[in-house]
Structure 1
Amino acid sequence: MAEFEVSRLLDTASVSVRNVRCRGECRHRSAEECVSATHLVFPYRGLYLRHVGSDQSVADANHALLFNAGEGYQVSHPVSGGDASLVLAISQPLLRELAPAGLLQARDELAFRRQALQIDPRAQALVALLRHSLEHRHIEPLEAESLALTLVCRTLGPRSTHDGGGGPARRRLVDRVKVLLASDLGRRWSLDEIAAEIGGSAVYLTQAFQQVEGVPLYRYHLRLRLARALDLVADAPDMSALAQDLGFSSHSHFAAAFKQAYGRSPSAFRQTARAKSG
């Protein structure tokens, strides 16, 4: 079986969309790779690390990764189970129009200054709707293009401009916390358990996480679990079982958290996804 499975979901003059699934079996850094076109990658399942020189970014459902044309990178997979991402390539004139100048390098060829940006729950929901609707071929290309451009605007906008604070050591510590959370997404972690696994005090970890990510650790974890729900909810036969698998204390707790994040209940979101997907 190939390491990657790539599904072509949309190809127009303005936008291309791919669904990329990776088996994620290699724990060590891969050979150096590069891409031919600048694009945005939205992980929606699993986790991997992207390395550019001495810098690294955690690729999980709370982030969009920014890949620059011709820039070398490596990947590693510290968590078993593989990963999946929605990959968007926008025509360079459109992307230059959409991207704030502060996110771009000062050179003729379009390139981003940063490896990754946080995305908010609304952007996570757009990723899920775009993927579900394209996979089931019940969306017109014009609507899909509009949805993709809305997602890019949301991702590159001011909601995603938090620039992680702290030094490299603190950022690496926070990355270890992210990897730990992803290793058992449905587990009801306590601060003491996380601190015991990572090392250091619970107080220090919470302070470091807030400084680097700009959101509390518990909220970051909740968004990961809800993003996994977005991935599964369209085809979930039992909402209560899904809630339990994702570590929620009850279906009502899950439904309330989902609605607060995405503005609709899990059942309502499933109806929308199914309407999009037939």
Structure 2
Amino acid sequence: MPQPPPASNELSVSASLDTASVSVRNMVCHGGCAHSGPEECAASTYLVFPYRGVYVRHVGRDQAVADANHVVFFNADEGYRIAHPVAGSDASLSLQLSPALLEELAPAAFLNKQANPGFRMQHRRIDTDAQALVASLRHGLEHGTMEALEAEGLLLDLVTRSLGPRNTRAPQATEGQHRLANRVKLLLSSDLSRRWSLADVGAEIGASPVYLTQVFQRVEGLPLYRYQLRLRLARALDLMGSADLDLSALAADLGFSSHSHFTAAFRQAYGQTPADFRRGTRRG
């Protein structure tokens, strides 16, 4: 439930991510009334992904069961009531996009025509891939092993997967899109240690975060954050022959959150730890 009443002590809210493009909150409700509670009202529009437990949301006479198979839409300035007909707590990942991003990502038929855009329906079923994305995002953000750029890219993937594509065409990249992707690649290479956000990259390039991620994926065939990760790991490979290399310092210099984060990414990419790879380069 994205916007609890101020007096509520049944809801725990923790911020997972805040950038110029997206905000993510982990919401844990510790139990509530089996019948509809008092009316609440969201200040902004949210996409809420339940991942544990269940509750029922009432908007007027309409109701939606909020469980891990659905994304639930909380519209700005729209009153609702929450009921907990099943005993136990529930938890959700709550995602807020800027109005411009929401209108760019959501099919036009899904949105109302109000100044603060919202959804025409209460909820929509999601698939298992979207459920896996929710889990990956939650764990990665909670444990600090996911940087903002990666999280933003995965969040946009999650929204696109949950809402469906704006159209069914998949055009080939144009010459202009290739040029844009090349500018992004040069920007990322200019500072491998920087923890970019989509808004940062978009501001430097002069493109919206959604357009940027879609074009880069189309041109390169992989997400922007993964491209950056491969650049960092390639630099690590280049430095592995140094006799006095400090792997913890290298991880920090390349922008990884910790030595373990660097090791996990390296192992996933190359099938061995940085230490093992380094030992191999120094044999003989």
- Shorter-chain TM range is 0.5 to 0.7
| Divergent runs of 4+, >4 A | none
Indicate which of 122, 141, 144 corresponds to 1:115: 122
Deviation track 1:66-88 (CA, whole Å, cap 9, x = no partner) reads: 11000000000011111000000
SS of 1:5's equivalent in the other structure is: strand
Distance, in Å, in 2 between the alignment partners of 1:96 and 1:24 is 34
Q: 1:124 aligns with which of 116, 131, 143?
A: 131
- Equivalent residue number for residue 10 of structure 2: 3
Q: CA deviation at 1:134?
A: 0.3
Corresponding residue for residue 12 of structure 1? 19
1:13 counterpart SS class: coil
CA distance in 2, matches of 1:107, 1:8: 28
Map 1:60-209; keep pairs closer than 5 Å.
60-157=67-164
TM-score for the superposition, normalised by structure 1: 0.56
Query: 8 Å contact 2:56–2:65 — kept in the other structure?
Result: yes
1:111 deviates by 1.2
Gaps of at least 5 residues in structure 2 are 1-7, 167-263, 269-284
Q: Which amino acid aligns with 1:45?
A: R
State yes or no: 1:38 paired with 2:45: yes
Larger Cα-atom Rg: 2
Aligned to 2:64: 57
- State the distance in 2 between where 1:106 and 1:87 align: 23
> Gapped runs of 5+ residues in structure 1?
160-270
2:129 partner SS: helix
**TM-score, normalised relative to structure 2:** 0.55
1:227-238 pair list within 5 angstroms: none
Structure with more of its chain in helix, by fraction: 1
Mapped partners of 1:156, 1:100: distance in 2: 7
Deviations 1:11-61 (A, max 9, x none): 001011100000123111111001111010000000000000000000000
Looking at structure 2, the residues matched to 158 and 94 of structure 1 have their Cα atoms a distance apart, in angstroms, of 14
SS in 2 for 1:69: coil
SS in 2 for 1:152: helix
Structure having greater relative contact order (Cα 8 Å, sep ≥ 6): 1
Alpha-carbon shift at residue 106 of structure 1 (Å): 2.8
